[in-house]
Amino acid sequence: MEHVLEFFRKGGIIIYPLLLCSIIALAIVIEKWLSLRRKKVIIPEIVSVIDNIKGPGDIGLALSICEKHKGPFANIIRVGLESRDLPKEEIKEALNDQGRQEVHSLEKGLIILETIAGIAPLLGLLGTVIGILKVFNVISVVGVGQATAMAGGISEALITTIVGLSIGIPAVVGLNFFTNKAETLVLKIEKYSSALLKKVTAFQVSEKKESKSNAI
């Protein structure tokens, strides 16, 4: 533990924003790992309800199940069910509007992770420049023969570079992984919302036919 503390102490002032970046990035990665699990987003109970909707009489049960659950998928399907009496284009627009809001919630935090992936290596580079500047300041005072005097600046230059890259590289990997996962979930939600739209509009057509036949 003492060696670790000594390692970071030698990193200079830039090590503190780098440590903050690492904590934030780790928190985002854990949160997205938990929140983007497929069964947590694409709730099996709601999928089953969509598959088993056979007529307008099943809409009430579907709505009650959607209201029991929270999350992007439940919210989008609920909007589609609540808009069932509107024309097809208006239902589609309502689904798209709600979908845009829910996609934002799925991708929440990824912008911050992207920022950390970009600035961590730059902070490491800044620390490198500061460390090298310290080395030149020492050289200007004591000359090039005092290796011990220059060691502090060299350590700072190397440590900040190492830490910056150690944060930036995993952050990029995490960003790409969770962005791809969010996009996959969005496609799944679109698939089920399209299936719901087809069923709801089919109910409207059948109801119109029934009303015409009753009128005759």
- Residue 87 · residue 57 · CB < 8 Å: no
> Which tens digits make up the pLDDT trace of 62-89?
888 888 888 898 899 888 888 888 888 8
> Which tens digits make up the pLDDT trace of 162-200?
889 999 999 999 999 999 999 999 999 899 888 888 888
pLDDT at 216: 52
Q: Report the percentage of the chain scoring pLDDT > 70.
A: 79
pLDDT over threshold 90, residue 22:
yes
The alpha carbon torsion through 179, 185, 190, 196 (nearest 10 deg) reads -160
For residue 198, give both structure tokens: 């087809």
Question: What is the value of pTM for the model shown?
Answer: 0.80
Taking residues 39-48, report their average pLDDT: 88
Q: H helices of the chain, where? A: 2-9, 15-35, 38-41, 44-52, 59-68, 72-82, 88-106, 110-142, 147-215
Taking residues 98-112, report their average pLDDT: 89
pLDDT at 29: 94
Beta-carbon contacts of 13 under 8 Å, excluding residues fewer than 6 positions away, are 130
pLDDT at 50: 84
What CA–CA distance (Å, rounded) separates 78 from 89?
Answer: 17
- Residue 182 · residue 36 · CB < 8 Å: yes
pLDDT over threshold 90, residue 156:
no
pLDDT at 27: 95
Tell me the pLDDT band of 13, cut-offs 50, 70 and 90.
confident
pLDDT at 145: 54
